[in-house]
Amino acid sequence: MSKIIEGLKYSESHEWVKVEGNIAIIGVSDFAQAEMGDITYVDMPEADDTVEAGEEFGALESVKASSELICPVSGTVVEVNALLEDAPEKVNEDAYAAWIIKVEMSDPAQLDALMDAAAYKAQIGE
């Protein structure tokens, strides 16, 4: 039974979004980290990179797998979580504390296409 937090938005590809004003804070769900197993590396963009909704912005790597990170919203990366560079295991420890990037949204209406906690819970069948 994986953890799902109320009040966050979720994408079909298991990213979560926390909205603070015009900034979207993006990470992966507890379900996603559990599916990956021990995460060994988080491939992240750089600050000032532009990202597009539905496009890859990075990847999670484990010993035997690589899983793309799909951006739920479009915009400009304002910050990446530098802590994950040396400690990717933070994502396994608490997927909701270990945010990956912060994006200044160019089209906040894209948030409407995302799921709420209940819908996401239904998607992952829990």
Partner 1 sequence: MKYYDKLVFELSKEGRTGYSLPSNPYPAGPEVPSALRREVPLRLPEVSEPDVVRHYTNLSQMNFGVDTGFYPLGSCTMKYNPKINEEMAGLAGFAGLHPLMHAGLTKGALKVYQEMNKALASITGMYCFTFDPCAGAHGELTGLMIMRQYHMKRGDLRRTKVIVPDSAHGTNPASAAVCGLEVVEVKSLENGRIDVEALKPLLTEEVAGIMMTNPNTLGLFETEIKTIAELVHGIGGLLYYDGANMNPLMGVVRPGDMGFDIMHLNLHKTFSTPHGGGGPGSGPVGVCQRLEDCIPDLKVSGFHGNFGVILRAYAYILSLGKQHLRKVGQYSVLSANYIKECLKDLYKLPIDGVCKHEFVFDGLINDGAHDDVPGATTLDVAKRLLDYGFHAPTIYFPLLFHQALMIEPTETESKETIDAFIDAMRKIAGEAAQDPEILHAAPHNAPITRPDETAAARNPILKYQEN
Partner 2 sequence: MARLPYLPHTDSDIRAMLDRIGVQKLEDLYSDVPSEFLKKGAYALPDALSEQEIRDYFASLEAMNARLKVFVGAGAYDHYTPAVIPYLCSRSEFLTAYTPYQCEISQGTLRYIFEYQSMICELTGMDVSNASMYDGPTAAAEAMKMAVACTRKKNRVLLSKGLLPHVIQVVETYARFNGVEIAYVPVTDGQTCINCLKAELDKDDVAGVIVPSVNRYGIIEDHSGFAEAVHDRKGILIEYCDPSALAVVKTPGEWDADIAVGDGQSLGLPLCYGGPYVGFMAVKKEHMRKMPGRIVGQTVDKEGRRAFVLTLQAREQHIKREKATSNICSNESLMALWVTIYLSLMGPEGLREVNRLSSDGAHYLYGELLKTGQFEEVFPGKPFLKEFVLKPKHFPGQMQKRLEEAGFFAALDTEEGYVSFCVTEKRTKAEIDRLVQVIKEG
Contact between 45 and 51 under an 8 Å Cβ cutoff? The reply is yes
Which of 5, 18, 35, 40 binds partner 1 (CB under 8 A)? It is 40
Which of 52, 61, 78, 115 binds partner 1 (CB under 8 A)? It is 61
> Pick from 51, 45, 48: which is nearest to 84 by CA?
45
Residue range at the interface with partner 1 (CB under 8 A); choices 55-63, 67-75, 103-111, 112-120? 55-63
Sequence-separated (6 or more) residues with CB below 8 Å from residue 38: 62, 63, 89, 92
Query: 13 or 40, CB closer to partner 1?
Result: 40
Contact between 95 and 33 under an 8 Å Cβ cutoff? The reply is yes
Query: 56 or 104, CB closer to partner 1?
Result: 56
Return the residues of window 83-122 that contact partner 1 according to CB under 8 A: 88-89
109 touches partner 2 (CB under 8 A): no
Q: Which does 122 bind (CB under 5 to 8 A by kind): partner 2, partner 1, none?
A: none
Contact between 104 and 76 under an 8 Å Cβ cutoff? The reply is yes
Contact between 26 and 91 under an 8 Å Cβ cutoff? The reply is no
Return the residues of window 63-92 that contact partner 2 according to CB under 8 A: 63-66
| Gap between the Cα atoms of 56 and 53, Å rounded | 8
Binding site residues, partner 1, CB under 8 A? 38, 40-41, 61-64, 88-89
